[in-house]
């Protein structure tokens, strides 16, 4: 990672989510377009929530007092200027779109994390992909999520490998009586690492990945009960789930 590339904790939630939701090699999203756009809208709300710029009051999202500048100032101003407050789900519905996705991708391209690759068809640009250019930020994100979920880091030896050097249970050390049991004969027991309590940003990212259906694909060994317990009170991801449920219901009715 070069000095100009941000660390994982410096990425906004929309950037972190989109990075994990994009194939490293070909730069194509790993999710259906409507799932990607809807979850990214929730990630924008989650980022503003983390910054203290918005909060849920009653059933509606409202702008709070002064907040630090962010890449999503235009969304904050939109929330401030609305004459009628809206629910989290309604804001997710209003914010989802190709423009938001493109803006976040281009922001990461300017930081050197992904590369803007345009494909021409008949002389015109018809599609744009964003393959990974610097794996450092994504690797750090994955490590933080693994720690939060209590998973072994990538490359850690499996339990049977850890026990490979232990003597068989019925082995008799040289010079010992057949019925003697050496003090160190008990093989080491491999246990899963204890989960590290995640910070608020990592918790929010886990919640968004869960809402998009991506958490289990990225971490198939994750304990779903643990993940659900971590994210149960995250209102932006619940809004994403509600909106996705309505979209899928509409698609099912249209197919009948």
Q: Domains in the chain, please, with CATH?
A: 8-148+195-255 (1.10.3630.10)
Give the residue, 162 or 29, on which the prediction is more confident. 29
Q: Angle of helix 200-212 relative to helix 136-149, nearest 10 degrees?
A: 90
| pLDDT at residue 127 in the model | 80
Structure tokens belonging to residue 256: 């009948």
Residue range 219-226: mean pLDDT, rounded: 93
Rounded to the nearest integer, the mean pLDDT of the chain is 84
**pLDDT one-digit tens code per residue, 13-44:** 999 999 999 999 999 999 999 999 999 999 99
Model confidence at 120, pLDDT cuts 50, 70, 90, reads low
Average pLDDT score over residue span 196-207: 92
pLDDT for 256: 80
% of the chain residues with pLDDT over 90: 65
Closest listed residue to residue 1, CA positions, set 127, 106, 141, 144: 141
Show Cβ contacts of residue 159 under 8 Å, excluding neighbours closer than 6 positions: 190
- CA–CA separation, 205 and 21 (whole Å): 11
Residue 171 reports pLDDT greater than 80:
no
Nearest to 6 by CA among 166, 138, 126: 138
């Amino acid at each position: 990672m070069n000095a100009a590339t941000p660390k994982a904790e410096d990425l906004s939630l929309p950037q972190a989510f989109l990075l994990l939701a994009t194939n490293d090699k070909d730069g194509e999203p790993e999710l259906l377009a409507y799932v990607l756009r809807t979850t990214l809208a929730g990630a924008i709300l989650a980022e503003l929530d983390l910054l203290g710029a918005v909060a849920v009051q009653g059933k509606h999202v409202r702008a709070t007092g002064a907040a630090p500048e962010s890449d999503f100032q235009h969304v904050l101003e939109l929330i401030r200027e609305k004459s009628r407050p809206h629910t989290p789900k309604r804001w997710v519905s209003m914010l989802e779109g190709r423009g938001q996705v493109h803006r976040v991708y281009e922001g990461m391209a300017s930081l050197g994390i992904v590369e803007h690759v345009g494909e021409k068809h008949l002389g015109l640009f018809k599609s744009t992909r964003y393959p990974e250019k610097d794996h450092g930020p994504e690797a750090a994100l994955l490590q933080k999520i693994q720690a939060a979920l209590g998973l072994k880091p990538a490359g850690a030896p499996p339990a049977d490998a850890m026990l490979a050097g232990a003597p068989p249970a019925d082995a008799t050390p040289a010079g010992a009586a057949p019925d003697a049991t050496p003090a160190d004969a008990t093989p080491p027991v491999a246990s899963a690492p204890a989960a590290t309590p995640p910070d608020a940003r990592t918790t929010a990212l886990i919640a968004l990945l869960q809402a998009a259906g991506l958490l289990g694909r990225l971490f198939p060994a994750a304990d779903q009960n643990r993940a659900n317990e971590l994210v149960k009170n995250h209102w932006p991801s619940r809004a994403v789930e509600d909106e996705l449920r309505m979209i899928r219901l509409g698609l099912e009715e249209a197919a009948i």
